[in-house]
C-alpha cells in the first residue's frame, strides 16, 4: 500500500532501519532466559503444544479440554515455530516481539501520515521505549499482535480518507479481520468507534459513501469471522455461550476471572505505563486540543487516546494490558513538533526542522490563502487546511481536500 505522504527521504529510510534494528536487539536480548512467569504465557504455550500434538488447528485445547476463550492466531504461530525450532520460552515469546516491531513500524507510518516523517520516526522511538510497551513486548501475550493489526487498520483508513481510494478501505477491513482472529471483534469495534467519532465530529457523513461496504465486510468476514463460524458449526451452543457470552460480552458487562477494579484503575496504569513520556502529555494535550478544529491529525490523536480509554474504563473487567492501544496515539501526540515547542523549545526552530520541508502553496487568481507550515502534508503538495480571507473556503485551490 503506498504511503500517504509521498516519497521517503533517503535519510529517513536509514533512520527507520536503525530504529527497527534497535527494537529487535532490545526485545530479543535474553528473551528466552526468564521462565514463563505470567499465567497467560504458560497457558498459551501449553495450548500451542497441544495443538501440535492433536493436529487440530481449529479447536484449541487446554489440558485435553476444549478452550474457547480466544481465537487461535497466536497459537498457530507458536505451534508452527515449535515444530521447526522446538518448544521453549524463546519460541513461545518470539512472535510477540515480531509484532511489537511491526507495531512500531505501523506507528511510524501513521505518524508520518498524520504529520510528517520525522514525527513518525520519533513516535515509533517513543513507543518502543515506553515502559509498559517494552515489558509486554517480551511476554507471550496477544497485546502487541492486536496493536499491530489495529494500527495498520488506522493507517489504511487515513490513506483511504485522504485519497478516496476504495482499495485502501479494503486494506482496513483486512487488518481489522486479522485483529479479530487474534483477539476477537474488538479488532474492529475499537478502530470503528474511533473512526465513527472522527466522522461525527467532522460531520463528514458523505465519506461513508466512499467505503465499499459489501466487499469490505466480505474481506473482514473471511479474515476474521471464518474461525467463529467454523467453531459454531462444530460446537454449537457450547462455543457461543463460552466465547461470545461469557468471555466476550461478559468481560464488558461483568467481571471475568475476578479481574475487577475501580473506575479510575487505568489512570495510574497509563501514567506509570507510559513513563517517562507522561511528563510531556499536558503540553501535547493542550496543543492538540487547540488544533482539533483545524487539524484532522490532532483530532485523530485525541480520539485515539480518549475512545479506548473510555471504552475500557466502562468495561467491568479490567487488566493493565487492555489499555495498550492508547500508547501509540499518545506517542504520536508527544512527537508532534509543537508539543516540543510548547514544552519550552523554540517554536520557530521546531517548525523549521520538523515541518518546514513543504513550501506554502499559493492560490493564483483567487482569495489569498494562509497556511501554517506545521499543518501541511510533507512531500504531498496538498495542504491540510487553509484560511482564505480569515475563513476556510472550499472554493480555494488550496482547500481541495481536507486532511489533517
> What confidence category does residue 4 fall into, taking pLDDT thresholds of 50, 70 and 90?
very low
pTM of this prediction? 0.83
pLDDT of the residue at 205: 94
- Per residue in 294-343, pLDDT (tens digit) is 999 999 999 999 999 999 999 999 999 999 999 999 999 999 865 455 44
For residue 276, say if its preceding peptide bond is cis, omega within 30 degrees of 0.
yes
pLDDT of the residue at 100: 98
pLDDT of the residue at 394: 40
Contact 384, 142 (CB under 8 A): no
pLDDT of the residue at 380: 36
Cell of 8: 521517503
Long-range contacts of residues 55-64, Cβ cutoff 8 Å, at least 24 apart: 58/227, 58/230, 58/231, 58/234, 59/231, 59/234, 59/235
pLDDT of the residue at 343: 44
**Terminal Cα-to-Cα distance of the chain (whole angstroms):** 20
- More confident position, 364 or 137: 137
- Per-residue pLDDT, averaged over 74-96, amounts to 96
- Per-residue pLDDT, averaged over 188-203, amounts to 98
- Per residue in 208-217, pLDDT (tens digit) is 999 999 999 9
The share of the chain scoring above pLDDT 70, in percent, equals 81
pLDDT of the residue at 336: 86
Nearest Cα to 41, choosing from 87, 1, 5?
Answer: 87
pLDDT of the residue at 122: 96
d(CA 151, CA 158): 11
Please give the mean pLDDT across all residues of the chain. 85
Helix ranges (DSSP H) in 164-314: 166-183, 186-202, 213-220, 226-235, 237-239, 250-253, 266-273, 281-291, 296-314
Which of 22-36, 173-187, 277-291, 332-346 shows the lowest mean pLDDT across its residues? 332-346
- What are the φ and ψ backbone dihedral angles of 71, each rounded to 5 degrees? -65, 170
Contact 152, 106 (CB under 8 A): yes
Whether 404 has a pLDDT exceeding 60, the answer reads no
Cell of 122: 520519533
- Per residue in 245-271, pLDDT (tens digit) is 999 999 999 999 999 999 999 999 999
> What confidence category does residue 33 fall into, taking pLDDT thresholds of 50, 70 and 90?
very high
d(CA 337, CA 333): 9
pLDDT of the residue at 11: 82
Cell of 33: 532466559
pLDDT of the residue at 338: 53
Whether 278 has a pLDDT exceeding 60, the answer reads yes
pLDDT of the residue at 206: 93
- Per-residue pLDDT, averaged over 197-214, amounts to 96
The share of the chain scoring above pLDDT 90, in percent, equals 78
Amino acid at each position: 500500500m503506498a504511503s500517504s505522504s509521498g516519497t521517503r527521504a533517503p535519510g529517513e529510510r536509514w533512520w527507520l532501519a536503525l530504529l527497527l534494528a534497535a527494537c529487535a536487539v532490545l526485545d530479543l536480548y535474553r528473551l528466552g532466559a526468564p521462565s514463563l512467569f505470567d499465567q497467560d504465557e504458560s497457558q498459551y504455550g501449553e495450548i500451542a503444544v497441544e495443538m501440535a500434538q492433536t493436529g487440530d488447528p481449529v479447536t484449541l485445547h487446554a489440558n485435553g479440554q476444549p478452550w474457547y476463550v480466544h481465537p487461535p492466531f497466536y497459537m498457530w504461530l507458536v505451534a508452527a515455530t515449535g515444530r521447526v525450532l522446538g518448544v521453549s520460552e524463546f519460541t513461545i515469546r518470539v512472535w510477540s516481539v515480531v509484532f511489537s516491531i511491526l507495531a512500531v513500524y505501523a506507528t511510524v507510518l501513521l505518524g508520518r501520515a498524520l504529520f510528517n516523517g520525522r514525527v513518525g520516526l520519533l513516535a515509533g522511538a517513543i513507543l518502543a521505549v515506553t515502559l509498559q510497551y517494552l515489558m509486554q513486548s517480551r511476554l507471550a501475550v496477544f497485546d502487541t499482535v492486536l496493536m499491530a493489526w489495529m494500527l495498520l487498520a488506522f493507517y489504511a483508513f487515513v490513506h483511504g480518507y485522504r485519497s478516496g481510494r476504495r482499495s485502501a478501505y479494503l486494506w482496513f477491513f483486512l487488518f481489522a479481520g486479522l485483529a479479530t482472529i487474534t483477539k476477537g471483534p474488538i479488532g474492529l469495534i475499537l478502530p470503528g468507534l474511533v473512526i465513527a467519532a472522527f466522522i461525527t465530529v467532522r460531520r463528514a457523513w458523505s465519506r461513508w459513501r466512499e467505503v465499499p461496504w459489501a466487499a469490505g465486510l466480505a474481506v473482514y468476514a473471511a479474515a476474521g469471522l471464518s474461525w467463529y463460524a467454523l467453531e459454531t458449526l462444530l460446537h454449537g451452543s457450547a462455543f457461543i455461550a463460552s466465547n461470545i457470552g461469557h468471555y466476550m460480552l461478559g468481560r464488558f458487562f461483568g467481571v471475568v476471572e475476578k479481574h475487577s477494579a475501580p473506575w479510575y484503575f487505568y489512570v495510574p496504569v497509563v501514567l506509570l505505563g507510559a513513563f517517562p513520556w507522561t511528563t510531556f502529555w499536558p503540553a501535547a494535550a493542550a496543543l492538540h486540543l487547540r488544533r482539533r478544529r483545524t487539524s484532522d491529525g490532532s483530532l485523530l490523536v485525541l480520539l485515539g487516546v480518549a475512545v479506548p480509554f473510555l471504552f475500557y474504563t466502562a468495561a467491568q473487567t479490567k487488566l493493565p494490558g487492555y489499555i495498550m492501544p492508547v500508547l501509540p496515539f499518545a506517542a504520536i501526540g508527544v512527537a508532534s513538533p509543537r508539543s516540543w515547542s510548547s514544552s519550552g523549545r523554540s517554536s520557530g526552530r521546531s517548525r523549521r526542522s520538523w515541518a518546514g520541508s513543504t513550501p506554502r502553496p499559493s492560490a493564483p487568481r483567487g482569495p489569498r490563502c494562509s497556511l501554517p507550515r506545521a499543518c501541511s502534508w510533507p512531500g504531498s503538495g496538498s495542504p491540510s487546511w487553509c484560511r482564505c480571507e480569515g475563513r476556510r473556503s472550499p472554493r480555494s485551490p488550496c482547500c481541495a481536500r481536507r486532511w489533517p
